[in-house]
Amino acid sequence: MTIDELRGRVADFLATHDPRSTDRLEFLRARYDAGLAWVAFPEGHGGLGVPQALQAEVDRLFVEAGAPDNNPSANGIGLGMAAPTILAFGTDAQKARFLKPLWTGEEIWCQLFSEPGAGSDLAGVATRAVRDGDAWVVNGQKVWTSGAHNAKYAILVARTDPDQPKHSGLTYFLCDMTDPGIEVRPLRQITGEAEFNEVFLTDVRIPDSHRLGEEGQGWKVANATLNNERVSIGKTALRESGMIGVVARTWRAQPERRTPELHDRLLRLWVDAEAARITGQRLRQKLAQGQPGPEGSAMKLAFATIAQQLSGLELELLGEDGLRYSDWTMVRPESVDFTGRDAGYRYLRAKGNSIEGGTSEILRNIIAERVLGLPAEPRLDKDVPWKELQK
């Protein structure tokens, strides 16, 4: 399909669905059914099977028409992580059930991966899922769960076979966050807000029809999710968007604070941010074709490094004004905003960038071993049954 043919499809859709008079949810559902949601997805699942590069043009046309969006900032985990994983590993019934309400924003998603004893070493998760007829009974605790307080569904990794080595005994589930036995508690961050949560699961029953992938295949499925996550975190589509745009505007507005040294740092970071943006576009095209790879770790590592350096530079540009912090009230936001509020907030929030989505230390190991082909670190627990590992 050519770009002109795609433009024609959008024009035909808008001619029969006037965004000024059509109900918002009805409009979004119809857009999904027309294959104009995420155009790289297959037909019948919100797409047309066309190159991901055409998505930007479709989105532009809908924005110009005044069409409602699906509030992507409130469902970043669903759109960026759950959806491509369901597309890659889900059954036809799972795709039909979950993808449409996910894209329209009717169902918000969160991620139940990390645990108090299994953060960077995700394969060490202890949350147990035990088969009981046509369901699984889940018990355990998850932590650092962004948006769990707003989520309808979660992607969940649990241990189903403790007799297997830690990477082999895991299974991946789609968990209804409104089921009995799920308790969500806020975790207050250095910014004052609580976008994170800890989640306790007590005898939660998940039907086997909500298992994603084969039993024991959880590590493979989770890796696909994480590769998608590392590309989606901090993604920017336009030049000078994200943190580099914020700092560039601050630079232009503060001529009296400019120095040659700050100018040099800003230019170097501008180049780094632009290189990361273009690299991210290429990686997202691979993801749309179902080819997530370890290169996403480099993308996420670059984002964290650049964001932290830029937020520090912004404080230096602002001088004493950068020390102000507008509000430390404990709130539970609906979405994660890396560039929101003021400079003080951005500086504190950026500290989490090198932890969330995989710590920078772990990402460097992944890049070294799986991208550069360097010798792997010794792993004495690789072939040991999980139940025999020291906890």
Catalytic residues: 229
Cβ contact 123:91 at 8 Å: no
Cβ contact 153:177 at 8 Å: yes
Q: Measured between alpha carbons, how far is residue 186 from residues 266, 332, 345, 358 in Å?
A: 36, 8, 19, 21
275: Cα separation from own chain's centroid: 21
CB contact burial 283-320 (16+ within 10 A = b; e otherwise): bbebbbeeebebbbbbbbbbbbbbbbbbbbbbbebbee
353: Cα separation from own chain's centroid: 12
Which residues partner with 176 through β-bridges?
153
375: Cα separation from own chain's centroid: 29
DSSP alpha helix (H) spans, 45-114: 55-64, 76-77, 83-89, 92-104
Which residues partner with 184 through β-bridges?
199
The set of residues, in sequence order, having a beta carbon less than 8 Å from that of 187 and lying 6+ positions away, is 143, 144, 194, 196, 197, 198
Q: If you write DSSP's letter for every residue of 237-267 in order, what string do you get?
A: -STT-THHHHHHHHHHH-GGG--HHHHHHHH
